[in-house]
Amino acid sequence: MLGDNVMSPPSPPIALPATAARSNPSAFPSQRDRRWPFWPAAPLYPYGTRWTRCQEVIPDQVWTFDQVQGILYVIVPIRMTVVRLAAGGLLVYAPIAPTAECLGQLQALIDRHGPIKYIILPTVSAIEHKVPAGPFAQKFPSAQVYVAPHQWSFPLNLPLSWLGLPGDRTQLLPAHSADSPFAADFDYEILGPIDLKVGPFEEAVFFHRASQTLLVTDSVMSIPAQPPAVMDLDPYPLLFHARDRALDPILDSPARRTKGWQRITLFSFYFRPSALAEVRWGQVLRDVRQASDRSSRAYFGLFPFQWQEHWQQSFETLRNGGQLFVAPVLQKLILNRSPQQVLDWVDRVARWDFTQVIPAHFDAPVNATPAAFRQAFDFLEQRSQLPEQDLALLNQIDQLLRSVMPPPKGHGDQ
């Protein structure tokens, strides 16, 4: 094991070592700078606090801004991408929570490259992307806001203005990218609407021609072997899930952060991965009484997880060398409702000559070709390459939803 150290549960976030903070006090934002007051609209960890990591992907052209979100310490990155327009100014794809820290990092780009001209909400239903879009747009009153068509919300289908999107400068993306005001820089294709009865699924992916970069929201992603850098700002969730029992102390090391990340990944994609053993609640409750930390941050000592020996092999199978893939929930519950529609969209996207993909979650940027993008959707034409035992819960959910959603279709079904 790589130099484990006992770690007391910290108050999030852990931003920088003390030595770095002393040498550069401005690099250590305060809790006020990371405050996110609208978290009750999407009550995900870390709730009222969001920390942000900015990365320059292509010098003076493309930047990513990462935050984190999750449930029960199953946290993953959520990402917005900022692109410099050839004529000056910036375009923002999939905005995140506009905390003071985030806006400060963004201001450095504005000072150098000009104002934010366009803000893109590329999805119609994903609440984690829709909730910050309105507050973000309010921070930039001169920016034009474009949203994917067929917007809806659940349980109440609220107008976009109720989500904070400014009615006087919010409009639908034109059906054809050539008709958009940013056509000189971008092409885009809209997947959907896929009719799910409860509401459509839709996503707009953007191709930035100058950098040969494809921007996507949820349609494809890639899993890194190591935890994304933004998660190092608060490693406690990683270390929480790196334990094997509730009685194990919170230990911090690179190896344990990686272990926690890989287990979190299995949870986030499968919900109930087959590598989890059946929970014995009697033992779980006995462990609670002996747990060294029974604070609310440690979920009062509850740790109802027991991993089988093959869990790492399950992770490697899912990761598949970091290749682009479609999340299991989209494979089993959404995209298989209209496979031909999806494949037609995939073929249109694959005509672009992109060399990298920036998803809104997990790894980015991902070196990938149009052929790799097309291959990620092979599950629509043949049996999924993911293990059936890991898809058991999603298959059960699929059966339950068939009373309120269209049934899956085979390739070529109309």
pLDDT for position 277: 87
Is residue 92 predicted with pLDDT exceeding 90?
A: yes
pLDDT for position 413: 55
Which residues on adjacent β-strands are paired with residue 189? 205
Distance of CA 325 to the CA centre of its chain: 14
pLDDT for position 410: 63
Mean pLDDT of the chain: 88
Give the residue-averaged pLDDT of 230-252: 92
Is residue 318 predicted with pLDDT exceeding 90?
A: yes
For residue 392, report the phi and psi dihedrals to the nearest 5 degrees.
-55, -45
As annotated, the residues of the chain forming the CATH 3.60.15.10 domain(s) are 53-218+328-375
pLDDT for position 14: 33
Give the residue, 184 or 195, on which the prediction is more confident: 184
Is residue 68 predicted with pLDDT exceeding 60?
A: yes
In terms of Cα–Cα distance, which of 177, 85, 202, 78 is closest to 136?
A: 78
Give the residue-averaged pLDDT of 304-308: 90
Is residue 349 predicted with pLDDT exceeding 70?
A: yes
For residue 390, report the phi and psi dihedrals to the nearest 5 degrees.
-80, -20
Direct distance between the N- and C-terminal alpha carbons of the chain, in angstroms, rounded to an integer = 54
Cis peptide bond prior to 200, omega within 30° of 0 = no
Question: In the chain, what percentage of residues exceed pLDDT 90?
Answer: 63
Looking at 149-158, 172-181, 206-215, which range is the least confident one? Answer: 149-158
Percentages helix, strand, coil for the chain, rounded to the nearest 5?
A: 35, 20, 45
What span, in angstroms and rounded, lies between the C-alpha atoms of 262 and 265? 5
What span, in angstroms and rounded, lies between the C-alpha atoms of 332 and 391? 8
Crossing angle of helices 254-270 and 311-319, rounded to 10°: 70
Give the residue-averaged pLDDT of 28-35: 83
Structural contact between residues 125 and 204, judged by C-beta atoms closer than 8 angstroms? no
In terms of Cα–Cα distance, which of 320, 211, 189 is closest to 265?
A: 320
Is residue 80 predicted with pLDDT exceeding 70?
A: yes
CATH class in words for 53-218+328-375? alpha beta
Query: What is the reported pTM?
Result: 0.89
pLDDT for position 16: 32
What span, in angstroms and rounded, lies between the C-alpha atoms of 137 and 131? 11
In this predicted model, what pLDDT tens digit does every residue of 244-303 receive, in sequence order?
988 888 889 999 999 999 999 999 999 889 888 888 888 888 888 888 888 888 888 898
Is residue 348 predicted with pLDDT exceeding 80?
A: yes
How confident is residue 340, by pLDDT bands cut at 50, 70 and 90?
Answer: very high
